[in-house]
Every structure is written in structure tokens, then in C-alpha cells.
Amino acid sequence: MENLVDVLKALSDETRLRILNLLYEQELCVCDVMETLQISQAKASRHLIYLKNAGLITDRKYAQWAYYSLLKTTDLKFIDHLIYDTLRNLSLYQQDLENQEKWRMGKADFCDRYEVKHKQFSI
């Protein structure tokens, strides 16, 4: 029951809901969250850590980068319904997805992780 309380507390913040909405689409790094939601690095990191500690997301490290993704388990199946059936019908969350797509299209010009991918294929 304690874990459920942590999950519900994590879901009680609009910024964290917006982050979950973005992570439902794809794995993201802190800079993706910052740019898409127009929040500071400290705020993005704080909310990502809160979601991770609540057991809603996971991370993986690559060099100096941390990539976050939604934890997909049957215990958290209700998150799918929350995001897809509820949040996706609200204009703020739809706008976040549009902003994420715009950011993703432009970030390849300067983001290290895209640079690494391109170097791997050009050898």
C-alpha cells in the first residue's frame, strides 16, 4: 500500500503528469523535458527523480547522459488509461506533444546523442 501512496503523490503534480505524457511516446533525456516544457534543468531533474522514486519511470546511463522511460508493468496499467484516455484529450498535453516533436526535429543539430549516432553510421 505504501507504494500506491507514493504513486498517487507523484501523480498529484501537473508537471509530473506532463512528463509522463511525454515519456509515454519515447525515451527522453533531461534536456528534452526542459525544452519541451520550458522548465529549468533543476526542475526537470527534480520531477524525473520524483517519478523514478515512485516507481513510475526508469533510467539508463550513457556517457554523461541519463535517459528516462516509462516503466511498463501490469501493476501500473492504469497509467496507460490516465495518459491515453484522459490527458491526451486536454489541450495543454496535446500542445506538449507538438512542442516535443518540434524540439526533436531541431535538436539533431546540436545534441550530443544525435552526434554519436551519426558518427557510428559514418565509419
Instruction: Encode pLDDT of 10-65 as tens digits.
Output: 999 999 999 999 999 899 999 999 999 999 999 999 999 999 999 999 999 988 88
DSSP 110: T
pLDDT in tens, 94-112: 999 999 999 888 876 555 5
Average pLDDT, stretch 72-81?
81
Residue 117 reports pLDDT greater than 90: no
What domains are there in the chain, each with its CATH number?
Answer: 2-121 (1.10.10.10)
The yes-or-no verdict on residue 120 having pLDDT over 80 is no
> How many Cβ atoms from other residues are within 10 Å of residue 12's Cβ?
9
Rounded (5°) CA angle 106-43-52? 95
Q: Averaged over 85-101, what is the pLDDT?
A: 93
SS3 48: helix
